[in-house]
Amino acid sequence: MSGRLFVVGTGPGAPGQMTPEAREAISAATHLFGYKPYLDRLDLRADQQAVASDNREELARAGAALDMAAEGETAAMVSGGDAGVFAMAAAVCEAIDKGPAAWREVELIVVPGVTAMLAVAARVGAPLGNDFCAISLSDNLKPWDVIEKRLRLAAEAGFAIALYNPISKARPHQLGEAFNILRAVLPMEIPVVFGRAAGRPDERITMTTLDGARPEMADMATCIIIGNVHTRIVERGERPALLYTPRSVPAHG
């Protein structure tokens, strides 16, 4: 008899940002699979086993969790943020699609979480208050020319843009190239937010403009939000400024 596999989004890292549903799923699992830093955030019981793996082993991790569930166990695949946003839910679905018939018999339960762009947006106001999109700058699973095209078209369409996986040691140049693509389309005064580790003790939120945005302001723990031409900054004296994108769009776009 097949068991269950929870695919859980634990939020951006702060304990208060994990949903009650996610806590219940983690509590129900006997084996928890995931990238070690995500598993380290959990307070597991003595009867629960953490199975850590490298962040680049998504399909192998998904297969191991599905094997466990196919044997009748209750397993959990742990992601940070939301499991369906550049995370493990897609990898698990892909594994089921391409894997053995036994994996299709597993009861799969995807548990949503607070993704990084929502945590960062909440820190500054409502920069995603109108239409927006999310783009990962990692070219591990898609060509860089596809990323360039999506950035350009998203800017031309007037979306606010959230950038995930903005920079790494293997990709030190791509964030600067991304900013240059956006500068060719958008005004230099467009607001840009660098949100690092939103909700965690080492949180750092920096607000600047597209003209002032620099790659060295980000690392892999950073989510970047770029506003559109309608995004506004509301100065509030001694209180932090608010950033929001109005709910309405003028007829001229």
Q: Domain boundaries in the chain? A: 4-114, 117-244
Q: What is the pLDDT of residue 70?
A: 97
Q: What is the pLDDT of residue 253?
A: 66
Task: Give the pLDDT confidence of 86-110 residue by residue, as tens digits.
Answer: 999 999 999 999 999 999 999 999 9
Task: Give the pLDDT confidence of 110-160 residue by residue, as tens digits.
Answer: 999 999 999 999 999 999 999 999 999 999 999 999 999 999 999 999 999
pLDDT of 56 strictly over 80: no
Tokens representing 76?
């959990």
The percentage of the chain sitting over the pLDDT mark of 70, rounded to a whole number, equals 99
4-114: CATH, from 3.40.1010.10, 3.40.30.10, 3.40.50.300, 3.40.50.720: 3.40.1010.10
Q: Mean pLDDT of all residues in the chain?
A: 95
Chain centre distance of CA 242: 23
Residue 239 CB coordination number (10 Å) = 8
Confidence of residue 4 (pLDDT cuts 50, 70, 90): very high
More confident residue, 208 or 170: 208
Measured distance CA(189)–CA(177) in Å, rounded: 18
Contact 194, 222 (CB under 8 A): yes
- Whole-model pTM: value is 0.94
CATH topology of domain 117-244: 3.30.950
Q: Do domains 4-114 and 117-244 have the same CATH topology?
A: no
* Closest-CA residue to 213 (of 153, 145, 166): 166
DSSP the chain: ---EEEEEE-BSS-GGGS-HHHHHHHHH-SEEEEEHHHHTTS---TT-EEEEE-TT-HHHHHHHHHHHHHTT-EEEEEESB-TTSSSHHHHHHHHHHHS-HHHHTSEEEEE----HHHHHHHHHEETTSSSEEEEE---SSS-HHHHHHHHHHHHHHT-EEEEES--BTTBSSHHHHHHHHHHTTS-TT-EEEEEESTTSTT-EEEEEETTT--GGG--TTEEEEE--TT-EEEEETTEEEEEE--S---TT-
Tokens representing 243?
């950033």
Q: What is the pLDDT of residue 1?
A: 67
Measured distance CA(193)–CA(196) in Å, rounded: 10
Residues 6+ apart with CB under 8 A from 35: 52, 53, 54, 55, 78, 80
Average pLDDT of the residues in 182-198:
97
The percentage of the chain sitting over the pLDDT mark of 90, rounded to a whole number, equals 90
Q: What is the pLDDT of residue 169?
A: 86
